[in-house]
Amino acid sequence: MVVLAGLAYALLAATVVGLDREVRWDEVTYLAQVTPGQPDVWFGPQRARGMTVVLLPVALLGAPLTLLRGWLVAVHAVALVLAFRPWARVAGWTGGAAAALAAVGWVPLYFAVEGYPNLLAAFAAVAAAGHSLAWVRRPAQEPTRTLRWTGGRLDADLVAAALAIAVIAWLRPTESVWTAAALTPVVVVAAGWRSWRLLAAYAAGGFVGWLPWLIEAIVRFGGPLARIDAARATSASGASRNSLIQYLNLIEGPVRRVVSDPVLTAPALALLVGAGVLALIGLLARAGAADGPGRPPGDPPGRPPGDPPDAPPDALSSAGPDALSSAGPDAPPDAPRSAGPDAGPRRAAALTGAFTGAALVTPYLVLNAGINLRYVLPGLLLATLPVGAGVAVLVAASWRARRRIVGIPALGMLAVLAVVTVGWQLTLAAHNAEQIAPLQARPVALGAALAEAADGAPCAFVSNAQWPEIQWHSGCLGEVLDVANPLLQCHDARRDLAALAAQGHRVFVFGRDEPPFSPAVAGWPTTPLPDVPGGWWLHERPAGLGPDDPPTIPAPEDSTTPCPPSRAPDTDDADLTFRWTR
């Protein structure tokens, strides 16, 4: 079922979201590092190199758009399968149902075609949690799953959990720390003192994943602490935006927006309530057809994986997820397990997913004021586990009762609800993809106009919007425009355009108001761009200007920090209002 979910995910992403979305700022930053013939984009201290390696195969071919999007869909679909396979092994239908929910959710579908590290890191977090749970819940009589190429010396789930943490650190280093920290109490409660093995695997994986970031921090930024300080200066943390209600406002899209009048619609509220009810069902329902068989009599519930059959049960392990099995939490340690269905794996999966997902969402609600649904993808994907457990319980119960009077109506009602919900999610995925398309297509037209104006000469430009994308489509060297500064550049710019002009580059400035938008460009040759929505103009720097004339880099004391200042409002006093529709 997990493989089918992965195939469905790839098909839906390619057809509903589409493969024609133009590249975005972050994607250009990653691609420009390894795409032949493309000008460099500053790789800031807040970024990690993992996504650049993921994009390398298509970047070396020039990153044609359809190939790029198709590659990303394939990578994310494979990641979905790998992430949910351990859950299907541990909890059966719960893992399959969770994979299906992830495959049809509008947010994972929306990001399936984009080259951001968040979705891959989220799938890796799901995999880390799944392999950790598989390790702590492995029945004692079951032989340890080992890697053949190691001669049977390495436990496969331990290695997989370590690799998953390494992948997260490779893509988003800080998130690997949060993931390991969220899983640690689960592991300690379930495996007791033997949890040191899994915690050591986390540490080893984290070190391997962090190593490229640490080396780059020393080489480029003066050390890890200096890099962290520089990264903090580029983030939105510290702003006052009441993150929780802003995220509630985004349940139906778009993926990113900060508003002073956030809204919770009736469909969004219904989704939250329905997910909560399903999660409770998944956690609390008694053992049934959705659950696999319990452990055979004579297998003590508390014995951790890898112990010999005559080893005594571990008290902490028997108090962990195993205590939720069909033997009941109050059963004595030596009570035999029922040969019938065992709800323990389902409940353990639901509880682990709920706890770990909540822990991974919390930092973005408390420590960081950036509002973007891609930041909370790990929590959203892990939340599919408790919700999937509830879905599995209801479907199995309805199927078992299909020959009774209530069975067929129950199955019909579930089918209708499933079709409506999935249809709604696919509609949201398509709608939000369509809404962002004009914005992402704008740099294509701006880049073409700039390349035509440069007429094959070396060129550079400043723009206060989407300059990396314009650079990608034009081949000209770009920098950010500070409209409020008479010198038109920021103090921390990497390229001084006046110096480039002295080297023979033709220098341009994009403006969006009636010319001149600034006294600095008064009298410059100006070309209107009527084919670009929004009233854009292209100003060319006259050849006779000197090294101190705009655009050029101002002194730090003459420029704002950050530059340009954030346009997102502080909305700490915003109130969430309820509406039937948006």
| DSSP per residue, 460-499 | EEEESS-HHHHHHHH--EEEE--TTSTTBS-TT-S--HHH
Structure-block tokens of residue 16: 């509903």
Gyration radius of the chain over CA positions: 27
Query: Which residues on adjacent β-strands are paired with residue 478?
Result: 461
Residue 98 placed within a domain:
yes
For 371, other C-beta atoms within 10 Å of its C-beta total 24
Query: Which residues on adjacent β-strands are paired with residue 552?
Result: 488
Domain match, 380 and 517 both = no
Q: 369, 400, 431: which is the final residue of a domain?
A: 400
pLDDT at 265: 95
CA nearest neighbour of 573 among 237, 238, 239, 241: 241
Q: Which helix (H) or strand (E) covers residue 509, if one does? A: strand 506-511
Contact 500, 477 (CB under 8 A): yes
What are phi and psi for residue 77, nearest 5 degrees? -65, -45
Contact 13, 95 (CB under 8 A): no
Residue type, 153: R
Cα–Cα distance list, 422 to 105, 127, 419, 498 (Å): 8, 24, 5, 54
d(CA 521, CA 387): 58
pLDDT at 258: 86
Residue 211 placed within a domain:
yes
Domain match, 290 and 368 both = yes
Contact 157, 128 (CB under 8 A): no
What is the end-to-end Cα distance of the chain in Å, rounded? Answer: 35
Strand duo 526-529 + 536-540: pairing: antiparallel
What are phi and psi for residue 495, nearest 5 degrees? -125, 130
Structure-block tokens of residue 179: 């993931």
Residue 392 placed within a domain:
yes
For 281, other C-beta atoms within 10 Å of its C-beta total 19
Residue 569 placed within a domain:
no
Mapped onto helix, strand or coil, the DSSP state of residue 529 is: strand
Contact 259, 247 (CB under 8 A): no
Q: 379, 400, 421: which is the final residue of a domain?
A: 400
Domain match, 487 and 389 both = no
Biggest CA-to-CA distance, the chain: 91
Domain match, 105 and 7 both = yes
Q: Indicate the number of domains in the chain.
A: 2
Contact 378, 122 (CB under 8 A): yes
Domain match, 39 and 175 both = yes
d(CA 124, CA 132): 12
Mapped onto helix, strand or coil, the DSSP state of residue 538 is: strand
Domain match, 381 and 488 both = no
Cα torsion 275, 278, 280, 281 to 10°: value is 180
Q: 376, 400, 424: which is the final residue of a domain?
A: 400
Read off the DSSP letter of residue 305.
Answer: T
Domain match, 166 and 284 both = yes
d(CA 117, CA 464): 25
- Number of separate helices (H) and strands (E) present in the chain: 19, 7
Contact 243, 365 (CB under 8 A): yes
d(CA 387, CA 417): 14
Residue 571 placed within a domain:
no
Domain match, 31 and 98 both = yes
Residue 525 placed within a domain:
yes
Domain match, 380 and 469 both = no
Domain match, 320 and 200 both = yes
Domain around 244: 2-400
Name every residue whose Cβ is closer than 8 Å to that of residue 302 and which is 6 or more positions away in sequence.
313, 314, 315, 317, 318, 322, 333
Name every residue whose Cβ is closer than 8 Å to that of residue 567 and which is 6 or more positions away in sequence.
none
Mapped onto helix, strand or coil, the DSSP state of residue 521 is: helix
Q: Which helix (H) or strand (E) covers residue 453, if one does? A: helix 407-454
Contact 33, 472 (CB under 8 A): no
Record the pTM.
0.89
d(CA 227, CA 169): 16
Query: Which residues on adjacent β-strands are paired with residue 462?
Result: 479, 509
Structure-block tokens of residue 187: 């592991």
Q: Which residue, chain included where needed, has tokens 């579930």?
A: 414
| Per-residue pLDDT of the chain in tens (582 residues, 90 and over written 9) | 899 999 999 999 999 999 999 999 999 999 999 999 999 999 999 999 999 999 999 999 999 999 999 999 999 999 999 999 999 999 999 999 999 999 999 999 999 999 999 999 999 999 999 999 999 987 544 555 655 554 455 788 999 999 999 999 999 999 999 999 999 999 999 988 889 999 999 999 999 999 999 999 999 999 999 999 988 877 655 556 788 999 999 999 999 988 888 999 999 999 999 999 999 999 998 876 667 665 443 444 333 333 333 333 333 333 344 433 333 333 333 444 444 567 888 999 999 999 999 999 999 988 766 899 999 999 999 999 999 999 999 988 887 877 676 667 888 888 999 999 999 999 999 999 999 999 999 999 999 999 999 999 999 999 999 999 999 999 999 999 999 999 999 999 999 999 999 999 999 999 998 889 999 999 999 999 998 988 999 999 999 899 999 999 999 998 887 788 766 666 777 888 999 888
Domain match, 458 and 315 both = no
Q: Which residue, chain included where needed, has tokens 């993921």?
A: 54
Domain match, 92 and 177 both = yes
Residue 412 placed within a domain:
no
d(CA 497, CA 520): 14
Residue 138 placed within a domain:
yes
